[in-house]
């Protein structure tokens, strides 16, 4: 926590005034073009890292509507999607004091996944977009960045932010999923629209039994599978947050610092 200017020693006050001037200094060679170059080129790296992490840990859960189930989807996606936003949150906060790491990652991921789904899965593979739409993590990222800005603490952000992340990712994407959870009679059974999509749009190498529907015994919690999963998803997101912090601190920033010291 910073001291207020009134309680600061004169030397410290002077130093901070110099820092203020430094912040607003005009540089001859490092102009706004460099900022633009950085932000734009980083889109591809950040989107790639976030997408690969999501594909590794969440895979099919983010691909098909019939995989977006009440039990595993809130757990798996919460963990998989918070890792890289957390890493970028560390980097952008430490380097520029921007509460933008999560939002930047998730907006980049949004662009990458929608472009990928549209061109690869809809145009090339001809699956309908309403079957292969990606989840959006942007609103959860906004809240995560807001939390860091307000608390200035990665510990507090992980504790509250992890739980909020799991709830936000699930609840924001449950809204567009709702039409696909309507009951429909199909093949003499009652199914959801998403189940019918999964059966009708043939995935020869993704047989139905690969889905994790009704595995485990979560229904023993008064049938409230969804809420138990969300609770667990929040815990997993907290862990994922610190996995991301480790990536940000030790794989991204620390080697750069080491390099700078050698110059």
- Which CB sits closer to other proteins, 38 or 259? 38
The Cα–Cα gap between 130 and 4 comes to 53
Q: What's the min distance (Å) between Cβ of 186 and other proteins?
A: 6
Q: Out of 7, 9, 11, 204, name the contact with other proteins by CB under 8 A.
A: 204
Q: 69 is written with which tokens?
A: 């189930």
H or E element that contains 170:
helix 154-177
Name residues contacting other proteins, limited to 102-161 (CB under 8 A).
103-104, 106-107, 110, 114, 125-131, 133-134, 136, 138-139, 141-143, 145-146, 149-150, 152-153
**Between residues 138 and 231, which has the closer beta carbon with respect to other proteins?**
138
Q: Say if CB 54 and CB 106 are below 8 A apart.
A: no
Least Å from the CB of residue 80 to other proteins? 18
- Of 108, 139, 149, 105, the C-alpha closest to 248 is 105
Taking contact as CB under 8 A, which single stretch among the options 48-56, 78-86, 204-212, 236-244 is the one that binds other proteins?
A: 204-212
Q: Which of 61, 63, 79, 93 binds other proteins (CB under 8 A)?
A: 93
Residue range at the interface with other proteins (CB under 8 A); choices 49-57, 180-188, 228-236, 237-245: 180-188
* Interface of this chain with other proteins, residues 8 to 27, rule: CB under 8 A: 15-16, 19-20, 22-25, 27
As a whole number of angstroms, the longest Cα–Cα distance in the chain is: 81
175: tokens are 């809204």
Stretch that binds other proteins, among 49-57, 78-86, 101-109, 227-235 (CB under 8 A): 101-109
Of 19 and 251, the one with the shorter C-beta distance to other proteins is 19
Query: What one-character-per-residue DSSP string does 66-103 give?
Result: GG--SSSHHHHHHHHHHHHHHHHHHHHHHHH--TTHHH
Choosing from 62, 69, 83, 85, the residue that interacts with other proteins (CB under 8 A) is: 69
Question: How many residues touch other proteins (CB under 8 A)?
Answer: 98
Residue (25 or 217) nearer to other proteins, CB: 25
Tell me which of 7, 9, 10, 190 binds other proteins, using CB under 8 A: 190
Residue 186's SS3 state is: strand
CA-nearest of 178, 177, 88 to 133 is 177
- The 3-state DSSP class for residue 2 equals coil
Contact letters (x/-) for other proteins, 206-225, by CB under 8 A? Answer: -xxx-x-xx----------x
CA dihedral sign of residues 185, 186, 191, 197: negative
Question: Mind giving me the DSSP string for 25-82?
Answer: ---SSS-HHHHHHHHHHHHHHHHHHHHHHHHHHTGGGGT-GGG--SSSHHHHHHHHHH
Q: Minimal distance in Å, beta carbon 238 to other proteins?
A: 19
Q: Of the listed pieces 44-52, 80-88, 201-209, 228-236, which binds other proteins according to CB under 8 A?
A: 201-209
């Amino acid at each position: 926590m910073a001291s207020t200017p009134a309680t600061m020693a004169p030397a410290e006050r002077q130093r901070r005034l110099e820092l203020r001037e430094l912040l607003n200094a005009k540089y001859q060679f490092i102009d706004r073009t460099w900022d633009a170059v950085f932000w734009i080129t980083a889109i591809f790296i950040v989107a790639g890292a976030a997408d690969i992490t999501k594909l590794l840990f969440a895979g099919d859960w983010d691909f098909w509507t019939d995989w977006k189930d009440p039990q595993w989807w809130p757990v798996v996606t919460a963990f998989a999607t918070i890792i890289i936003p957390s890493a970028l949150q560390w980097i952008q906060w430490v380097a520029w004091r921007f509460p933008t790491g999560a939002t930047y990652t998730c907006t980049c991921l949004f662009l990458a996944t929608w472009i990928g789904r549209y061109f690869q899965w809809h145009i090339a593979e001809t699956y309908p977009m309403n079957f292969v739409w990606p989840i959006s993590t942007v609103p959860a990222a906004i809240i995560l960045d807001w939390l860091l800005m307000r608390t200035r603490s990665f510990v507090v952000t992980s504790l509250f932010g992890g739980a909020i992340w799991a709830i936000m990712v699930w609840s924001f994407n449950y809204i567009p999923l709702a039409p696909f959870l309507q009951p429909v009679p199909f093949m003499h059974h009652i199914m959801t629209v998403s189940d019918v999509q999964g059966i009708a749009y043939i995935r020869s190498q993704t047989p139905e039994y690969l889905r994790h529907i009704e595995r485990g015994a979560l229904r023993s919690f008064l049938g409230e599978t969804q809420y138990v999963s969300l609770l667990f998803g929040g815990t997993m997101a907290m862990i994922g947050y610190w996995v991301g912090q480790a990536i940000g601190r030790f794989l991204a920033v620390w080697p750069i610092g080491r390099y700078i010291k050698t110059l």
